A and B are shown apart, each in its own frame.
Chain A
Amino acid sequence: MTKYVFVESPFMTPGELALRAYEVSEGVLIKETCFGLQVTGAPEAVDHLITEIRTFDPNHIFIKDRGFPPGDPRRCRANLGGARPGYLGHEREFRLLRYITRGLEALERGEAVPEAAREKIRGLDIQRLQELIDEES
């Protein structure tokens, strides 16, 4: 089983995260990347490591499953060249992570959820209404 670990934190770099992850890895393969880590191993060991990793900086660390193992020749950009398929999706969502972090922090602090501003529905202009009445009459 392989999982991605993304870190978008002012307190921790992927390098620091990798070092701390190694301390609790228990045989899980850890690959440091520009955005965080890829961790590969037996499902129980990976789940245990993920639980530990989340505690380092809960609101700034994000995790998702990966289908391919790291370095798989069918996906690895070392063989294919260029960005790996799927990277662009990660890049797009990576920019939104700060909003998610803000949401998680608000949840943690028990802040009230701000109400969505209602879209103003523009009524029929009075002059246009008069014109319509005049046209009909």
Chain B
Amino acid sequence: MAKVFIYPATSLILSDLVARFNHKPLGAALGIRERIQTAGIDSPPLQITPEEPKRGLKYAAVEVPSGVRGRMAIYGPLIEEAEAAVIVTDADLAFGCMGCARTDELILFSLRQSGIPILELKYPTSDEEGIRFVAAIKKFLTGLPDGGEA
């Protein structure tokens, strides 16, 4: 079972398909869950403490806004952990404030720099594209280490 980073990190479709084909999807929920359910941290609303932007310094320079560094404190460790990535390039749902937008750019840059196998796709808009979309993901995931038949 390989750890596969998904982008958009909140994607239902990618999360389901990666898990369906016997791999572990690495998405935003895992990073958030870790912060929500770890006892002893209490800084509503998202359990982001002043420590997070400091941890984010590993992934972004000090002059980068703290919002980006704070977000990278969640995504950075997941990217480091990832053994492969599936990216949807036309995900119009992955929008947000400048913090989110710049973090998204940094996530994609980090993934492409990391040298791990990456599959880039567009969301399907028809049945035919749906067949190609699922087949491409299945083929990519089957080719990963420990990626036997689903």
Contacts and interface: CB of A to CB of B under 8 A. Distances in A.
Interface of A: 1-2, 4, 6, 54, 62-69, 72, 74-75, 86, 88-90, 92-94, 96-104, 106-107, 111, 113-114, 116
Contacts of B17: 100
Interface in B92-150: 92-94, 123-135, 138
Contacts of A102: 127, 130-131
Given A89-B93, A99-B127, A67 B32 contact: yes
A90 B29 CA distance: 13
A71 to B, nearest CB: 13
Given A96-B13, A100-B130, A68 B32 contact: yes
The interface residues of chain B, by DSSP majority, are classed as helix
A106 B93 contact: no
A97 B92 CA distance: 16
Interface stretch (B4-12, B53-61, B62-70, B79-87): B4-12
The interface residues of chain A, by DSSP majority, are classed as mixed
B88 to A, nearest CB: 10
A111 B127 CA distance: 13
A37 B110 CA distance: 34
B13 to A, nearest CB: 5
Contact of A99 (B29, B33, B93, B133): B133
A63 B19 contact: yes
Contacts of A89: 8, 10-12, 93-94
A113 B46 CA distance: 43
A62 B12 contact: yes
B25 interface: yes
A62 B13 contact: yes
Contacts of A107: 131, 134-135, 138
B36 A72 contact: yes
Greatest chain A CB density within 10 A among B8, B93, B125 is at: B93
